[in-house]
Structure 1
């Protein structure tokens, strides 16, 4: 999960997901004045909650990788603290939030970069297969897969197992609930998220394997917002000086290594 670290080859159907991931900062356009945030006030950070290991509570002070990153960004920018703004993921990837940026495990893709701006990548991840410990093998014919709406996992799993076997949920929390109650047999979600949910499941869930995609998370910036350059520069500095790597190690206990490949 080290920032910028490449991954190995994958099957053709999933390679399109990895290929689509690119560092992209789009040309700025006008943002309505009403959407502006106070450059001297607390740093407003949008995210979707819950997000264990990334945001361990409703505020940045509760800790988590992105929560700690938000606090480091605020300090770098000279802003007096962080205000967390809960926003659904599907709105975040469309830039529909009233905040300075979003830190919400958002993979950088060309399609998203046509709508929002991105900072430099701050984490590289693959897709993980989350299952019930006593559940059926989701590779079996007829097994049902769950995904969160508007995620890269939703695109990948439909390509591999077929849309008829996939159930889409409004957010990741609802997909995990469907897995626990048996409505689906697996959820495809980013590896660090899958590991966090499994670790907090009391032994009921496990990560059965992964799908190497080499996706890169980026801070989401509203297209053309006046503070984007300052935020992007501060984030780049935190990546360059090793702060992001230290925060990652603190949140995830270092790099646990790749999960075994699950799909053929």
Structure 2
């Protein structure tokens, strides 16, 4: 069935579907070391959406979630991939999540901090990626601990080490990989949040575009596309979100 031209116009005012890709979340997007081309679950979904709409695709590749949110909100990209958050929801209409990712705390091996409940104390400084989902969440939730914002999620552990901070917060897999390189670090035993990773379009694009994107995500989950993409890219520790 041909798509409504107004829907195509809502998604592609420039004639090309521009996908905002955030490299700050390595579970979903990375850049090939040899070719420098982006790859990952987000890119696979972007290509599938462009194919369904029958339009050319352009990848707008950015380093942080905050930049990605801004690009879609300001109209420099047509849709993107985000962790659901009420602050971002002021300008972006989210789909239901397609992937669930865990947020964890990281400390030094000899740290007295053994549980999540011990993090929110006045003498603790917590490194987060500026504008990330867990930055937004912890900004609301932490009452006593001080938040220190690293330039991006991939630089959280280095900021934590360089500044002698007490805690680093982030996506479990990123923290595990960085801890393995640095040594002498450990994750706490429980997650502090579940990051609901969704697709999103600017609210200004209208309800028709938001509804189409929401239906697309449900179809991608139900068909096994998301699970296959996670497996194809060797992603462990992230799970396909349940149906909306």
* Residues 1-264 of structure 1 mapped to structure 2, 5 A cutoff: 37-39=13-15, 41=16, 43-57=17-31, 61-86=37-62, 88-93=64-69, 95-103=73-81, 106-132=82-108, 134=109, 136-138=111-113, 139=118, 142-157=123-138, 162-198=143-179, 201=181, 203=183, 206-225=186-205, 227-255=209-237
Closer, same or farther in 2 for the Cα pair 1:158/1:236, shift >3 Å? closer
Higher strand proportion: 2
- Deviations along 1:69-88, one digit per CA (max 9) or x if unpaired, are 32333333333344233264
- Deviations along 1:40-93, one digit per CA (max 9) or x if unpaired, are x3x321133343232221799542222333233333333334423326423444
Tell me how far 1:214 sits from its aligned partner: 3.4
Q: Which runs of 5+ in 2 are unaligned?
A: 1-8, 240-244
Closer, same or farther in 2 for the Cα pair 1:73/1:130, shift >3 Å? farther
- Deviations along 1:4-62, one digit per CA (max 9) or x if unpaired, are xxxxxxxxxxxxxxxxxxxxxxxxxxxxx9x96434x3x32113334323222179954
Q: Is the 8 A contact 2:154 2:174 kept in 1?
A: no
Give the alignment's TM-score, normalised by structure 2: 0.69
- Higher RCO (C-alpha 8 Å, min separation 6): 1
Q: Distance in 2 between matches of 1:87 and 1:128?
A: 21
Q: Distance in 1 between matches of 2:53 and 2:36?
A: 16
Give the alignment's TM-score, normalised by structure 1: 0.65
C-alpha root-mean-square deviation of aligned residues, in Å? 3.5
